[in-house]
């Protein structure tokens, strides 16, 4: 089965690998890349999206989106994790292509409306572009095939605060709108991405299989790996964003549960994702009033990293 997707991204080392999968996997029809600030500023995100698609020999529309959060001030980009250029500070070739003249939100609206019921939105950065697309066309909720979001954490705790995952924390107000919009939505969060550890051996296979694109993926991975070693004591990296595509293509590797999501927008817990399992009673009903969504709770992490390496080898 072919999956027509729009990939919304803030590349970013793990984003870059996921973009490579979206460009290479035979069952993915990549309709466009939409960019957001997050791991890098918006201009760098767009530059990297154009570059990665050129390195793969593809001419994919790249539409630029949000430069900052809807409400709160923007946090500085995490250059210690992804490098100042988002790709581990390695030297990069020149970009030849130009971005699409439309905003990311307009691109999403136009593309989904051209193929109602067919297009899956896969978002792996702060979700301001999806919130903006919903504002342009609220009926989008009934026209997408599915929305898959790498973000949030159900039981795992946070990675940028004790309770918040980075993509949710970076724009909690947008996340609250997008996660409660009532479209078919799957959340691929830290509960599963932290169970997937991509080793140096996996990366060597990817480097060998991807030519010049492989050089950029492996070079940036080396920088990202230093962060994991120093801060988390892991030898290897969590391929967060690739996991969203792994869920789309290989859902049988994941255990999911239906329930109601909400995102805390202010205060010490900002960016925390709240999940009320379907049918579970709480002291009041207010946690169970948002539309049903699906969250990933468990995964066969070894099978996912094998799938990533196989896809890019």
Cis preceding-peptide flag for 26 (omega within 30 of 0) = no
The contact mask relative to ligand BDR for 230-269 (x = CB under 6 A, - = no) is ----------xx----------------------------
Question: Could you tell me where the DSSP H helices lie in 122-180?
Answer: 128-136, 166-170, 172-179
Piece of 156-164, 189-197, 234-242, 265-273 that binds Ca ion (CB under 5 A): 234-242
Cβ-contact 40, 77 below 8 angstroms: yes
* Of residues 38 and 109, the one with the C-beta less far from ligand BDR: 38
Residue 264 partner contact from ligand BDR, Ca ion, none using kind-dependent CB cut-offs of 5 to 8 Å = none
* Of residues 195 and 240, the one with the C-beta less far from ligand BDR: 240
Positions annotated as catalytic residues are 10, 240
Binding to ligand BDR by residue 14, rule CB under 6 A? Answer: yes
Report which of 210, 260, 227, 265 is spatially closest to residue 80, judged by C-alpha positions.
227
Binding to ligand BDR by residue 166, rule CB under 6 A? Answer: yes
Binding to Ca ion by residue 243, rule CB under 5 A? Answer: no
Residue 200 beta carbon to ligand BDR: minimum distance, rounded to whole angstroms: 20
Angstrom distances, CA of residue 292 to CA of 127, 158, 181: 19, 23, 10
Q: Is 282 exposed, middle or buried (0-12, 13-18, 19+ CB in 10 A)?
A: exposed
* Of residues 241 and 300, the one with the C-beta less far from ligand BDR: 241
Residue 260 beta carbon to ligand BDR: minimum distance, rounded to whole angstroms: 22
Binding to Ca ion by residue 125, rule CB under 5 A? Answer: yes
* Of residues 77 and 312, the one with the C-beta less far from ligand BDR: 77
Helix axes 211-227, 200-209, angle to 10 degrees: 160
User: d(Cα 296, Cα 30) in Å, to the nearest integer?
Assistant: 23
Binding to Ca ion by residue 15, rule CB under 5 A? Answer: yes
- Site residues for ligand BDR, 50-69, by CB under 6 A, read none
What spatial distance separates the first Cα and last Cα of the chain, rounded to whole Å? 21
The contact mask relative to Ca ion for 105-124 (x = CB under 5 A, - = no) is -------------------x
User: d(Cα 247, Cα 249) in Å, to the nearest integer?
Assistant: 6
Report which of 238, 250, 287 is spatially closest to residue 28, judged by C-alpha positions.
250
Interface residue list for Ca ion (CB under 5 A): 10, 12, 15, 124-125, 241
Residues that bind ligand BDR (CB under 6 A): 12, 14-15, 39, 124-125, 150, 159, 165-167, 240-241
């Amino acid at each position: 089965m072919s999956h027509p997707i729009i990939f919304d991204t803030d590349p970013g080392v793990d984003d870059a690998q996921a973009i490579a999968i979206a460009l290479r996997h035979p069952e993915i029809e990549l309709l466009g890349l939409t960019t957001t600030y997050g791991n890098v500023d918006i201009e760098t995100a767009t530059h990297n999206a154009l570059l990665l698609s050129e390195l793969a020999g593809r001419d994919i529309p790249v539409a630029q989106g949000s430069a900052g959060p809807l409400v709160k001030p923007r946090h500085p980009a995490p250059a210690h994790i992804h490098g100042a250029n988002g790709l581990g500070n390695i030297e990069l070739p020149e970009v030849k292509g130009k971005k699409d003249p439309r905003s990311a939100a307009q691109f999403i609206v136009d593309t989904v409306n051209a193929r109602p019921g067919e297009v899956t939105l896969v978002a792996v950065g702060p979700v301001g572009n999806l919130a903006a697309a919903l504002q342009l066309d609220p009926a989008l909720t009934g026209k997408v095939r599915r929305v898959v979001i790498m973000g949030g954490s159900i039981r795992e705790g946070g990675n940028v605060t004790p309770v918040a995952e980075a993509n949710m924390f970076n724009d909690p107000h947008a996340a609250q709108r997008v996660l409660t919009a009532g479209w078919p939505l799957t959340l691929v969060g830290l509960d599963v991405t932290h169970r997937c550890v991509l080793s140096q051996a996996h990366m060597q296979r990817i480097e060998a299989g991807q030519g010049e694109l492989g050089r950029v993926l492996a070079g940036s991975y080396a920088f990202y790996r230093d962060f994991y070693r120093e801060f988390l004591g892991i030898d290897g990296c969590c391929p967060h964003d690739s996991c969203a595509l792994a869920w789309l293509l290989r859902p049988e590797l994941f255990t999911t549960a239906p329930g109601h999501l909400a995102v805390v927008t202010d205060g010490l817990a900002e960016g925390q994702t709240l999940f009320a399992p379907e049918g579970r009673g709480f002291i009041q009903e207010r946690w169970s009033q948002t539309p049903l969504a699906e969250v990933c709770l468990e995964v066969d992490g070894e099978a996912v990293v094998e799938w990533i390496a196989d896809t890019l080898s």
